[in-house]
Amino acid sequence: MSNCNKVGEQMTETNSSKSKKFKDMFIKMAPTIKNFVVHRFDDMEEFKRFTLAAIIDEKKSISDRFDRDTKDLSEEQKQEYFDWNSEDYFMVEDVFTQISLRSFVVILFSYIEDGMNTLCNVVYSDKARYQKKKGLEKFNVKYTDMQGKGINRAKLYLEKVIGCNLHTEKKPWSEIETLRKIRNAIVHEDGNANDSLKNDSNFKHHLIDGKFKLENHGQIIIDPEYLDYILPQVREYFGGIELK
């Protein structure tokens, strides 16, 4: 046998050994990947802090400018000044603030959806490799084979096919479902609450406690307090998922 063939066989054996070692390790990786998904929400915590700080800074900038420009004016002149420059206040209070808060909601939900799909892929890989190792019938049902879409499709797959306990009977999951409806209203309804959202029990409660308001026949106005509320709910949900 030539030296070239010997080297080729050695490389094949080495690659095969590495592949087997990787597969053996991967079977145990689902909990680690779950922790990775949970820690991704640290980025959203930082984004929340940045978003809320930017809103406060913009409001302060406008207020400081008003105080500076009207310092020596009478109350009547101050009112006239405000009337002429009210568009700046409108832009900060009603445009910049709401766009920032809505952007956070949309991005947060995309992280949730991506996290659920990631868990589906990882747990599927774990189960498929484990059954192959044990010489069992090949497991080839992927989450994309399920009916439905989005987080509910992933939920159905993890619960019914894989057998994970997602604790969807608890509060965090119902808040994620409400978040999904809010996100859809922002993305698909120009920020207007449809009947499904208006009848959502969590959303009704948040209207009472001030985390949301409805204006102009259904336009959703988000209070910054909602960001402080929903992010811990999401982290609690993902932290409580029991993988099998």
Query: Smallest Cα–Cα separation from 120: which of 148, 81, 83?
Result: 148
pLDDT at residue 15 in the model: 46
Helices (H), strands (E): how many in the chain? 9, 2
Helices 171-188 and 225-240, axial angle in degrees (round to 10): 130
Beta bridge partners of 212: 222
d(CA 235, CA 233): 6
User: Do the Cβ atoms of 121 and 33 come closer than 8 Å?
Assistant: no
pLDDT at residue 11 in the model: 43
Give me the average pLDDT of each 10-residue run along the chain (244 residues). Answer: 48 47 50 84 93 88 84 84 73 82 96 93 78 74 85 92 91 97 96 95 97 93 96 94 82
| Residue 136 φ/ψ, nearest 5 degrees | -90, 170
Residue 90, CB half-sphere, CA atoms under 13 Å: how many? 6
pLDDT at residue 141 in the model: 83
pLDDT at residue 17 in the model: 52
Read off the pTM. 0.79
Classified as helix, coil or strand, 192 is strand
